[in-house]
A and B are shown apart, each in its own frame.
Chain A
């Protein structure tokens, strides 16, 4: 009885570690395809379109509303201390440092990551990947690498759009509706926010999230059990794992970047 339980525990542990190993082998293979991609920019273009352009709408709308909510809530707290002028600092700092990269990564994981997993899982289930191999086309280089690079490049641009629209949303609520002084809103923001400390660190964060989210999505699709139930499980796992990885990594990155 006891040995059975121990064996089950051991099996799941070995399974998890083997999965991590396969994920890293896949990452190495995907990165190995990068040089070959230079000669086929069309493939990359199509993937930036899939991950980036098609995500713009949800990113823009979410950014705007998150910024507007930040403006409302921030005003409510700050006005109790007579510090409404700091609303711009609060909105811009929380967007550039945390909310922009993190919420964008979560939205991209749900909007584009799940689609990547389902697409590749279905390619595997219908043996399109094997067919490519039969034609002496490396499926990792032809299918996975462009998707990986597309996600990596699109993520920081999407996060920047999110933060920008968020700041504008906060400005609309704070200055337009609640009557915070326009000059103080922008000048305090510029005085307190640092380019390297706040904006550049946010971009670095979203680059890391871009790698992690697309990597998990690609691995889950490539590693899926080639049945319809397997693809469905892989898609769920892709979103859950990506969200957990983003939130966990965000804590580590924040501690490294902003901890003194």
Chain B
């Protein structure tokens, strides 16, 4: 009887350790604890060019993460990209004239949406659209523009 009891205790400890490890992986290693899913509110923004922005990319203001990119669609009428941003419910006081830019983290890093606050007294709510946007900088375009300007300087 004693050996059965020992086996039971050891199996119990094994399963507890296994589930503890799973819990550690979920909470400490992955982003499950960082608030996931449909809480918060949605904003949309239209960009002429989103570069290589991906769904789940961070949305930040002043370098602090406020939410993430939830959805990216293409508007066939205006030929623009419609980006849906899911903002954490705690940050519900973004002015209506907030400015949305697409920046790159580091030189080769991934792209993210950076918000710049405006001065309006009214705040954005669920489903509102951010009017002021700036597209992603495409390196080839910048280099092309630079070469073009140089050529202009030379001809003057």
Once the chains bind, are B34 and A157 in contact (CB under 8 Å)? no
A48 CB contact (under 8 Å) in B11, B25, B32, B65: B11
Specify the chain B residue showing the minimal Cβ separation from A93: B29
Residue in A53, A154, A165, A199 whose beta carbon sits within 8 Å of that of B30 in the complex: A199
Closest-by-CB residue of B relative to A192 is: B31
Does B17 belong to the interface (CB within 8 Å)?
Answer: yes
Residue B28 at the chain A interface, CB threshold 8 Å: yes
With A45-B8, A56-B14: A195-B22 Cβ-Cβ less than 8 Å:
no
Which residues of the other chain, B, contact A189 by a CB distance below 8 angstroms? 29
Please give the number of chain A residues whose Cβ is less than 8 angstroms from any Cβ of chain B in the complex.
31
- A158 CA / B21 CA spacing, docked (Å): 9
* B21 contacts A195, C-beta separation under 8 Å: no
A49 at the interface (CB under 8 A from B): yes
Task: State A157–B56 Cα separation when bound (angstroms).
Answer: 29
- CB of B18 within 8 A of CB of A160, answer yes
Question: Given A49-B10, A52-B14, are A186 and B25 neighbors across the interface (CB < 8 Å)?
Answer: no
Measured in the bound complex, the distance between the Cα atoms of B32 and A158 in whole Å is 21
Of listed B13, B17, B18, residue having the most chain A CB within 10 A:
B18
Given the contacts A48-B14, A56-B14, A167 and B29 also touching, CB distance less than 8 Å: yes
User: Which of B14, B15, B19 gathers most chain A CB within 10 Å?
Assistant: B14
With a 10 A CB-CB cut-off, give which of A186, A191, A195, A203 has the most chain B CB atoms.
A195
Report Cα–Cα, A203/B30, bound state, in Å.
13
**A158-177 interface mask toward B, CB cutoff 8 Å, 1 = contact, 0 = none?**
10110111010000000000
> Once bound together, how far apart are the Cα atoms of A49 and B9, in whole Å?
10
A42 at the binding interface (Cβ < 8 Å): yes
B26 at the interface (CB under 8 A from A): yes
Given A45-B7, A161-B21: A199 in contact with B14 (beta carbons within 8 A): no
A81, B28: Cα distance in complex, Å: 26
- Check A198 for interface membership: any CB of B closer than 8 A: yes
* Seed contacts A45-B8, A164-B24; 8 additional CB < 8 Å A-B pairs: A49-B14, A96-B29, A157-B14, A157-B15, A157-B17, A161-B17, A161-B18, A199-B32
**Interface residue ranges, A against B (CB under 8 Å):** 42, 45-46, 48-49, 52-53, 56, 92, 96, 154, 156-158, 160-161, 163-165, 167, 186, 189-191, 193-195, 198-199, 202-203
